[in-house]
Amino acid sequence: MGLPDTVQVLEQCRIAPPTGSSISTTSLLLTFLDLPMLVLPPIERIFFYEFNHSKSHFMNTILPNIKHSLSLALQHYYPLAGSLTWSQEANTPKILYTIGDTVSLTVAECDHDFYHLAGYHARDDNDFHPLVPMFGRVNSSDKLFPVMALQVTLFPNKGICIGIKLNHAVADGRTSNQFMKLWASFCKLEGNHSLVATDSSLPLYDRSIVKDPKELEKKILKNMANANITRDTFKFLAMPSSVSARADPPVRATFVIGQSDVKKLKQWVLTRLNNKKEIPPQLHLSTFVLGCAYVWVCLIKTRWGADDVALSVDQEERFAFVFDCRSQLNPPVPTTYFGNCLGFSMVICNRKELLQEDGIAIAAELLGKKIQSIRNDPEEIWKPLASFYCGSVDREHMLGVAGSPKLNVYETDFGWGKPKKVEITSTGSSAVSLSEHPIEERALEIGLVLSKKEMDAFASLFENNLKTLPA
């Protein structure tokens, strides 16, 4: 049975910051670091929590606290209750908050198998879409587009799922995660401000601290105009609806690279590079690099490894990733800065090289060198931004990354303990999601969405290759 038939909306409500808050009408212009995000899908993340209580207990005790704590969190993150717009007097789109603005909160009930959805095995990806909130209808003539939507889904006597959808042009994963943790802390401590909110942990809205020494805003706006994205044509670019159901629905699964796997991968890569006498000085071989290299090559082999034609063609494959650049800007930007502060980068490799026996080592070396160059040369942050909105992207031959183990999403505790499972639902087959493991330190969770046939092949490669690595 498909999940949409098992989800019932119990309540559709609007949550505002507390009445009497000292918040006035406020606008925040998008910066040159926000503008590239206008065409990206919204951030969609769902948190599964075990919750062994009845529906009546949830409705009478838990839900009022969820609503109250959300209101308190919005007092500090009030732009998330606002709208995205592009007014006549502004050079760029802006977030506009006016008194009375609210966030949509959907309350639902689901009788599907909670532990099936919160697992790591392959599951129908369409089953997750009803757990993700919708932005609702938008009056495009007003050109005021909602920033965020939330959903709480109860699995009676089994669990709770918290879902967030956030316009990526408004904030990055760090900002989104900080909001969720503040909301969760208020909920856990039943709204006790003194134990949660301190000046050092609250969002910073000062746009002047983000410098634009290369005048990238002008370049990006020019590129946007060339792509017919202007004030007059501005629309809900970043808000495509969730993937519609298909006759052959894709499946979603999560794979784990443990600490021992990372050690084996690192030693194997170093041995291979040493045999070729190609170990560059200070090669960056982090868990991120090794995990991404391994997954990238496994996916390439899944899709093309048995294709003789593919093996004979010189085809470039791309691996794209983002990185938090708050600490690398001049001057550095505080970690609590509200908005996007991400750099973009990419490595390119001939498919035939990745399909070689040393493919993982080749991929790891490329990624390690690229990250080291970003650390050594600030110019690496700016180069990709200047070409945003120029040309098209061949998604069939590019793999991207969403999320980061540094966000510590499994520390988001609403008072019911750590999440049993966290999923990024905005990724498709052209991206993988990354997070930390909830139990094993320095382990990496990798989420994928593939066809059932591809997922079975990938799982076999992923598991068997790790087993054959020397200890």
Q: How far is 142 from 26, CA to CA, in rounded Å?
A: 18
Burial 225-254 (b: 16+ CB within 10 A, else e): eeeebebeebebbbbeebbeeeeebbbbbb
The tokens for 4 are 């949409």
φ, ψ (nearest 5 deg) of residue 297: -65, -40
**Which of 164, 149, 169, 176 is CA-nearest to residue 234?**
169
Query: Hunting for tokens 């997750």 — which residue is that?
Result: 128
Give me the sheet containing 398-403, strands edge to edge: 123-124, 251-257, 444-450, 431-436, 398-403, 316-324, 342-350
Q: Judge contact between 356 and 331, C-beta under 8 A.
A: no
Residue 11 host element (H or E): strand 7-15
Q: How far is 414 from 399, CA to CA, in rounded Å?
A: 33
Q: How far is 66 from 56, CA to CA, in rounded Å?
A: 15
Residue 398: what residue type?
A: M
- 359-376 and 287-304 are packed helices; what angle lies between their axes, rounded to 10 degrees? 140
Catalytic residue, candidates 111, 113, 413, 456? 413
The verdict on whether 168 is a catalytic residue reads yes
Catalytic residue, candidates 168, 261, 324, 358? 168
Give bridge partners of residue 445 from the DSSP assignment: 256, 435
The verdict on whether 57 is a catalytic residue reads no
Which residues are tagged catalytic?
A: 168, 413
